Amino acid sequence: MPKLIWREPITTTTIVNRPPAPGGPPDLETVPKVGPDLHPEGATATVETVTEAPRRRVVTLGDIAGRESGGLVVLLVAVGALTLASDEFLTGNNLANLARQVAIFGIIAVGQLVVILTAGIDLSVGSVLGLAGASTAQFLVAGMPIVPAFLIGVGIGTALGIVNGLLVTRAKLPPFIATLGMLGIARGIVLVTTDAQTIQGLPPAFQNIANGTVLGIPNLLIVAVVVTGVMWFVLSRTVFGRYIYAVGSNPESARLAGVPVRLVTTSVYAISGLLAGLGGVLLASRLGAGIPTAGTGFELNAIAACVIGGASLFGAKGSALGAATGALIMGVLNNGGNLLAINAFYLQIAIGVLILVAVGFDQLNTRRSAAG
Amino acid sequence: MRADEEGANGGGATGRPVVELHGVSKAFGPVQALSDVSLTLVPGQVNCLAGENGAGKSTLIRVLTGALRRDSGTYEIDGRPVTAPTPASVRAAGVQAVYQELSLLPHLSVGENLFMGRLPARTGIIARARLRSRARKALDEVGLTDLSPDTVVERLPAATRQLVEIAKVLTADSVKVIVFDEPTTALTEAESKRLLEHILRLRDRGIAMLYVTHRLEEMFEIGDWVTVLRDGGLSEAGPIDRYDEDRLITAMVGREISSLYPESHRHAGPPALRVRGLRRFDGSPTIDLHVGAGEILGLGGLLGSGRSGLLLSVFGAAPIVAGEVEVEGRSVKPSGPRTMMNAGVGLLTEDRKVLGLLPELSIRENVTIASLRSGSRKGLLPGREQAEEADRLLDSLRLRAGSYEQPVSTLSGGNQQKVLLARWLLTKPKVLMFDEPTKGIDVGAKGELYTVIGDLAAQGLGIIVVSSYLPELLGLADRILVLRDGEVAGELPGTATEEDVLRLASGGKGAETPVLSEEIPAPRKGTAPTPPPPGAPPSGTASQPGPASSSGAASSPGVASPSGTASSASQPWPPPPTMLTPGSPPTPLTPLTPTARPAARPTAQPSAQSPTRDPSPPVGDLPRPADPPPSTSPSPASSARDEGRPPPGDGGGAIPPVQDDQER
């Protein structure tokens, strides 16, 4: 059998490792140089480099986790600057406050991220959040015990998420349209059922869920950290998580590789709905009231948090940690703005600029790595 | 070698080179993509650019078309130095390009596409009538007389789109040079032939052409001069008649290849896959096929004959209405890719980008994606062992990559195919199906893939290979099923010839091949209204000389040159003055190659300006591949060119004389 040993191992090493020879390699020399790769020495040498290289590569599964490093830098800079600029920023009181402000928002952002990873988008999170919170409040006022009411709120969110997922996978609607419809529907339902009235008189035990602390740490922060941690684990360590990235990268390829694309896609909308429902119940608990208009505009903020945290709206790029970081950055900027008494309108401009800068840098990086 | 090239430039003075690149280098960061490459394009000549993937062909083209700035070297168009080329300025100077990835806008009409960017308009309102008449003229020029300028591009078959693309290029104000970047990758053999005819016609109009392709036989069909790049440098350059296929491959990869295809001394074991009575939709013909363990089954047929669809159906990725599939004797219902995967079937799809790769994910993640389930415990990602197994597979396939963590989209075509192959090997399949496994892959990687496919069969896998490239199909397969219109037209042994396959694939009815009319709406100029004349044989005989001569030229030009000449001489009708006379039925099987050449010659030679290929070989005893030598007419330019362009091997001895002896 004719053996086809090609000269490629040698060329790769010459191109990659050796700086370009001045004046370029002489043409005539390449001919004899290629010949020796039939020699056993040449072969073993290349085999060594090949076997050595993967060992270095095995450990770093954190390729995806690397994408939010830019966000972390921005966060650290913002925190550092605020610490210097304001005496109040690094006080326990303010940090607890900040945590409460950011937590719900972070939970929504993490849910949004999972959808964005599949190259989808969930515009309905804000409305679903409002509906879940108001419904829970209504059931509580009607005398339902806290635990079932809480679960019903989360359940409503999950159910609406599943509907979103089915609209996308079965009815083949574009995610933007499907969830845009749900945005209107959910908001409409909550306004109808509550008659646009704020629902008050929630039991104090329920209000304690979001406003209480454990060992001085706000409950909301704990929930947000747990949600982020679980989602980080799911995305980076489970088969389901890998399938999410695969679907976001190329759904047809994923399907032909045996990935249950429909199930995965439906699941991510269910997760987003679930987290939106959770956020809604927690918001009702924190405010001590069911507000029908709660969560208006949250969807855009959640998307912004994901993008600032390194997610790509084209799918398959981003991480739970990144989304949480993005949410935290926006929270810190808002908080700092309040402390320094900066006009909130300027803050909006700042956050808008931040989104552009974050995505711009990402594009620049992609282009540079493509060129290199 | 460089001295030769300089000599070539001097020699080109007879037919003033329109474009001269000299000593061009280009580096991307630490990677030297081009170093000291020279290229000369002469009017009325087709210069074939050869080289493996990564040899620098694309970079050279991009430098030529102004898409990239060169780091050093000179670039002259019509003797005027081009200092800072931009795509627009280069185009204005007459250097046009037809790209591999079609640049047409799918949702717009043909006419709008032809003149996009310079639509005829008055104060911003498109002048529709003028647009239509101009488009009509442009389309007629490439023979698309039946194509309406209002047709939406999306609805056109790939071959027609490619012709529209050429028409678009020809509408430019100044067309001196056309660069073709693998124009035939998306086309079937018959479509490619038609395209090549057009290129020859353009050559006769005195346009200089740079032609890039992976299909070697195309170079021999239309090339006058070949420039071989290797590892970013100029490997060799010379008149194409100094080369045969082996010699060209040697120049591209730097060493000789005895045979691309693995030996086939396999015997089929018990059936690994058996398909009975498969019907893809109501009313479609039923298909039966089986492939034994350790056997390579080839699936041949024209484009649109249902080969890819059959594979997708067997893989469960496309619905079926009836049929049974058995894998190693166990019945499986092809309800989805996942079921078939678990049953031990793998499919490497034709379109890697759309139906294979997960571009954002790393190489390793791409390999393991299909095996995550089987290796996982409680839904967690499989541990280190699977990753290491994947790495071992990739190592054994000799994947050329810096790191297995890098995104798979950074790899070249051949290496991407290896990643997909590794993905399926990791699932430990019993049957592997390859759909056009070497599409867009360079010669080196091709050989590796063939070896791997042969090895897999030797290990007892059942292999199914779909290929439009007949030498590949015949070289690989132990047994060939030919499909026609969605049904099995016949079975051939692996020793069959290309014409056997073609005859089955086209039904042997040369004149009324349905596929041609289905895929190319507009027949070429002049042939459209003419029905096959009474003299033309209705079937069989007309198609036979075609494949015989073309395949002879295609498979091994060096050896086939006498037979090619003979067959073209023995044709029932004399070589026509134009590409297609009414006497030749518009069939994909007409012997385009041999007729095209003599036809091209008389028009090209009288003009002293255009240096056609000199008919007498400079070194008398070199083989003359694929070129029927009408050495009776020594052109006045030939002697000058012989001095100017010594064969690449004259000084350096780069042409091993041994090889020539073998050929003779």
Q: Average pLDDT for residues B91-106, to the nearest whole number?
A: 78
**Strongest mean pLDDT among B181-195, B269-283, B492-506:** B269-283
Chain centroid to Cα A1, Å, comes to 53
Q: Cβ–Cβ of B395/A238 closer than 8 Å? A: no
pLDDT at A181 exceeding the cut of 50: yes
Q: Where are the domains of chain A?
A: 8-57, 68-371
Residue A265 and residue A169 in contact, taking contact as beta carbons nearer than 8 Å: yes
Of B593, B597, B633, B595, give the one whose Cα is nearest residue B614.
Answer: B633
| Confidence band for B472, pLDDT divided at 50, 70 and 90 | confident
Residues of A in contact with B31 (CB under 8 A): 15-16, 20
Closest by alpha carbon to B1, among B648, B653, B641? B648
Mean pLDDT for all residues in chain A: 81
B2 to chain A: which residues are within 8 Å by CB? Answer: 27
Token pair for A131? 């509906």
Closest CA to B26 of A67, A64, A371, A285: A371
Share the mean pLDDT of chain B: 72
Q: Domains (ranges, CATH) in chain B? A: 271-493 (3.40.50.300), 538-663 (no CATH)
Coil/strand/helix, residue B109? strand
pLDDT on residue B246: 76
B566 Cβ under 8 Å from any chain A Cβ: no
Extended beta strands in chain A, E state: 213-214, 217-218
- Two tokens, residue B308: 């890819």
Phi and psi, residue B24, nearest 5°:
-80, 135
pLDDT for the residue A176: 94
* Chain B (249-268) residues lying within 8 Å, Cβ to Cβ, of chain A: 253-255, 257-260, 262-263
What is the average per-residue pLDDT within B548-552? 37
Longest distance between any two alpha carbons in chain B, whole Å: 80
> What DSSP string runs through B627-649?
----TTS--HHHHHHHHHS--TH
Of the listed ranges A57-66, A122-131, A263-272, B217-226, the least confidently predicted one is A57-66
Burial of A33 (0-12, 13-18, 19+ CB in 10 A): middle
Virtual torsion, Cα B381, B385, B391, B395, nearest 10 deg: -160
Encode pLDDT of A235-259 as tens digits.
Answer: 988 999 999 999 999 898 999 888 9
Beta strand pairing call for B345-348 and B431-435: parallel
Confidence of residue B263 (pLDDT cuts 50, 70, 90): low
At residue A151, the pLDDT reads 96
CA dihedral sign of residues A316, A321, A324, A328: negative
Residues 6+ apart with CB under 8 A from A194: A134, A138, A290, A292
List, for residues A213-225, the tens digit of each pLDDT value: 888 889 999 999 9
Q: Is residue B547 predicted with pLDDT exceeding 60?
A: no
Distance between CA B466 and CA B460 in Å, rounded?
19
Spatial distance between the Cα atoms of A332 and B272, rounded to a whole number of angstroms? 62
pLDDT band with cut points at 50, 70 and 90 for residue A226 = very high
CB contact at 8 A, B316 and B334: yes
Mean pLDDT of B343-367: 87
**Of B258, B379, B404, which is closest to A54 when you measure between CB atoms?**
B404
Say which CATH class A68-371 falls into: mainly alpha
Higher pLDDT, B535 or B101: B101
Which of B32, B337, B402 is opposite residue A256, by nearest beta carbon?
A: B337
Is the pLDDT reported for residue B634 higher than 70? no
Distance CA B25, CA B513 (A): 49
B279-317 pLDDT per residue, tens: 888 878 888 888 988 889 998 887 777 888 888 888 988
What the block records as the tokens of B431 is 């049957």
Give the integer Cα–Cα distance in Å for A324 and A209. Answer: 21
Please name the residues between 409 and 438 in chain B that touch chain A, using a CB distance below 8 Å. 410, 423
Query: Rounded CA gap, B466 and B321, in Å?
Result: 23
C-alpha B314/C-alpha A267 separation (Å) is 28
The predicted-structure confidence for A53-81, as pLDDT tens digits, reads as follows 333 433 333 344 455 567 788 888 888 98
* Chain B CB contacts of A7 below 8 Å: 253-255
Could you give the 3-state DSSP secondary structure of residue B271? strand
Name residue, tokens 């086209």: B506
Q: What is the pLDDT of residue B53?
A: 63
pLDDT of residue B613: 42
Cα torsion through B414, B420, B424, B430, rounded to 10: -40
- Give the burial class of B578: count Cβ atoms within 10 A of its Cβ; 0-12 exposed, 13-18 middle, 19 or more buried: middle
Lowest mean pLDDT among A158-167, B160-169, B282-291, B535-544: B535-544
Provide the pLDDT for residue A228.
95
**Spatial contact of B374 and B326, defined as CB atoms under 8 Å apart:** no
- Using CA atoms, how far residue B314 sits from B279, B282, B336, B457, B505, in Å, is 10, 16, 9, 19, 21
Cβ contacts of A54 on chain B, cutoff 8 Å: 388, 391, 395, 404
With 50 as the cut, is the pLDDT of residue A275 above it? Answer: yes
**What local confidence, expressed as pLDDT, does residue B568 receive?**
39
Find the residue in B nearest to A370 (Cα): B410
Task: Give pLDDT, residue B55.
Answer: 75
Q: Which of B367, B21, B383 is nearest to B208 (CA)?
A: B21
Cα separations in angstroms, B438 against A14, A268, B297, B352, B443: 26, 37, 16, 11, 9
Alpha-carbon A42 to chain mean position: 47
CB atoms near residue B439 (< 10 Å): 17
CB atoms near residue B269 (< 10 Å): 12
Tally Cβ neighbours within 10 Å of residue B118: 10
Q: Nearest 10 degrees: CA dihedral of B415, B210, B95, B170?
A: -100
B410-424 average pLDDT score: 85
Other CB atoms within a 10 A radius of the CB of residue A36 amount to 12
In this predicted structure, what is the pLDDT of residue B222? 86
Contact at CB, A258 and B373, closer than 8 angstroms: yes
Q: Which residue of A has its CA nearest to B233?
A: A27
Residue B574: pLDDT over 80: no
Complex prediction ipTM: 0.73
- Please list the residues that pair with B292 across neighbouring strands: B271
Higher pLDDT, A86 or A127: A127
Please give the pLDDT value at position B559. Answer: 37
> Residue B63 pLDDT > 50, yes or no?
yes
How far is C-alpha B17 from the geometric centre of its chain's CA atoms? 27
Q: Which positions ≥6 away from B627 have C-beta within 8 Å?
A: B220, B240, B241, B561, B597, B613
pLDDT of residue B280: 83
Separation CA A120–CA A248 (nearest Å): 8
Percent over 90 (pLDDT), chain A? 50
